[in-house]
Amino acid sequence: MELEDWLSRAVHAVRDWQRTYGDFEMHESLRVSDDAFGAALDELTARLTDNYPFFHPVYAGQMLKPPHPAAVVGYLATMLINPNNHALDGGPATAAMEKDVVGQLAGMFGLSQHLGHLTTSGTIANLEALYVARELHPGKGVAYSADAHYTHGRMCGVLGMPGTAVGTDARGRIDLAELDAVLAGGEIGTVVATAGTTGLGAIDPVHEVLAVARRHGARVHVDAAYGGFFTLLAGQDDAAGLDPAPWRAIAECDSVVVDPHKHGLQPYGCGAVLFSDPDVGRFYVHDSPYTYFTSGDLHLGEISLECSRAGAAAAALWLTFRLLPPTRAGLGAVLAAGRRAAVDWAGVLAASASLRLYQRPELDIVCYFPVTAGRSLSAIDRASARMLANGMAAENPVFLSTLRVGADEFRRRDHRVDADASGARILRSVLMKPESERYVGELHARLEQLARAEPG
């Protein structure tokens, strides 16, 4: 069946359940005419066309793609009921679904025990992890790589904790020697290891970070918001396979964050945070005089900093996992296609005379830049910006994004450039749609045309 058919089936199923409580009339204050509704809806759909084609492989820019049809149907069907997963009395069915999917996420990372829940975003999930870090090591700070997501520094500010950015190596991973020196000062309580940076898709060596941190008595939190689901490809013996060591080490860390609204095929917003020690739930203890009265079991709101959260997000993820579970044969097959596309394209870029591969991709993010006369950073920056703009304006458009990198970063990757500026924008493509695997040849051909059209 088509999406429209599944949506209709879901709406009718919810309506049938609602009728078991007896018919009633909608209040007149809520009624609108069909003509008014139709006009407003037409206006909405017209305005929605002012978007980039995130659904199509021609869009190879930011970390954006539509959710899986199962997630759409699960979310919209549940939204008709609109449960709130703060307390069991706000959403008994969806609270059970949330515990189910969080358990599956914990199993995906190999956690033998866990305490966790869904959040509205990876930012909030990381905030919760750093909040627990502060409570466990009061007065101590947090260390993270210079290429980690900018929200770690911001969340440290919100929590009143010192944040320390640690330099990166020539692959964009946290520098272990510098981390060791930072931890030697005794001021850091938690280290953030990033499993998939949002700029380059670099994977910090979690297993080695863990060893350094434990030597200094520090905790380790893994920000796998972007890359977390790639653990399904760890050790796979083909072009999509990844070194298992960093991914297996996550099970030994103190907490991990993953965003199902990225590679979990979910709509925004659906993040998740998991702690390996369920006892950290004591830091969430609070009292609410008007909730938590229908069950003596632990309510999700009692282990979360957030209050109201959409039960529809849990239902959407639950339904998706029923069809595409977080296993190598399930979601892993979806991720493998994007990973193969990135690896294949990297090989093509390495042989190109018009485009230069910035560094080999570790996940499904490919970074590259146009070859310019003189190879100055200012020329690379201008050419990248023009390719971005001209690609979107072309008759057969292609949609990219840019990443600003410093002059030292070019040199560390053995790119011979004239550092006439502090840095330059390069081009960046996220191949998170599995359809990219079949489209990357056409994508490259279009970019070759754009690059050759650049002024000499």
Residue 292 pLDDT level (bands cut at 50, 70, 90): low
pTM of the prediction? Answer: 0.95
- The stretch 391-412 carries a mean pLDDT of 96
Residue 288 pLDDT level (bands cut at 50, 70, 90): confident
Residue 237 pLDDT level (bands cut at 50, 70, 90): confident
In a domain, 415, yes or no: yes
Mean pLDDT of all residues belonging to the chain: 95
152, pLDDT greater than 70: yes
Residue 358 is part of a domain; what is its CATH number? 3.90.1150.170
Same domain membership, residue 267 and residue 360: no
Compare 290 and 443 and report the one with higher pLDDT. 443
Which one of 323, 340, 375 terminates a domain? 323
Residue 104 is part of a domain; what is its CATH number? 3.40.640.10
242 DSSP 8-state letter = B
**What are the φ and ψ backbone dihedral angles of 220, each rounded to 5 degrees?**
-130, 125
In a domain, 137, yes or no: yes
Same domain membership, residue 348 and residue 214: no
Same domain membership, residue 349 and residue 279: no
163-215, pLDDT tens digit by residue?
999 999 999 999 999 999 999 999 999 999 999 999 999 999 999 999 999 99
- Domain that residue 122 falls in: 78-323
Same domain membership, residue 411 and residue 293: no
d(CA 343, CA 87): 45
Same domain membership, residue 319 and residue 335: no
Helices (H), 147-251: 151-159, 176-184, 206-215, 244-249
In a domain, 337, yes or no: yes
Distances (CA, A) of 91 to 79, 311, 328: 11, 7, 31
Respond yes or no on whether the N-terminal peptide bond of residue 269 is cis (omega within 30° of 0).
yes
In a domain, 43, yes or no: no
Same domain membership, residue 203 and residue 348: no
* Per-residue pLDDT, 293: 63
Which one of 281, 300, 323 terminates a domain? 323
In a domain, 27, yes or no: no
- The stretch 95-112 carries a mean pLDDT of 97
Q: How many CB atoms lie within 10 A of CB 79?
A: 16
223 bridge partner residues: 194, 257
Q: Which residues contact 328 (CB under 8 A, 6 or more apart)?
A: 232, 233, 236
Percentage of the chain exceeding pLDDT 90: 91
In a domain, 36, yes or no: no
Q: Which residues contact 283 (CB under 8 A, 6 or more apart)?
A: 131, 132, 135
377 bridge partner residues: none
294-344, pLDDT tens digit by residue?
666 777 888 899 989 999 999 999 999 999 999 999 999 999 999 999 999
d(CA 168, CA 172): 5
Same domain membership, residue 357 and residue 308: no
Which one of 273, 305, 323 terminates a domain? 323
CB 130 within 8 A of CB 155: yes
Same domain membership, residue 235 and residue 146: yes
Same domain membership, residue 353 and residue 295: no
Count of structural domains, the chain: 2
Same domain membership, residue 336 and residue 289: no
339-380, pLDDT tens digit by residue?
999 999 999 999 999 999 999 999 999 999 999 988 899 999
The DSSP annotation for 23-65 comes to: --PPPGGG---HHHHHHHHHHHHHHHTSS--TTSTTB-SSS--
* Per-residue pLDDT, 295: 67
Compare 454 and 282 and report the one with higher pLDDT. 282
- The stretch 24-42 carries a mean pLDDT of 96
Nearest in space to 58 (alpha carbons), one of 449, 370, 447:
447
In a domain, 50, yes or no: no
Residue 290 pLDDT level (bands cut at 50, 70, 90): low
Same domain membership, residue 214 and residue 315: yes
In a domain, 72, yes or no: no
d(CA 108, CA 27): 47
Same domain membership, residue 304 and residue 220: yes
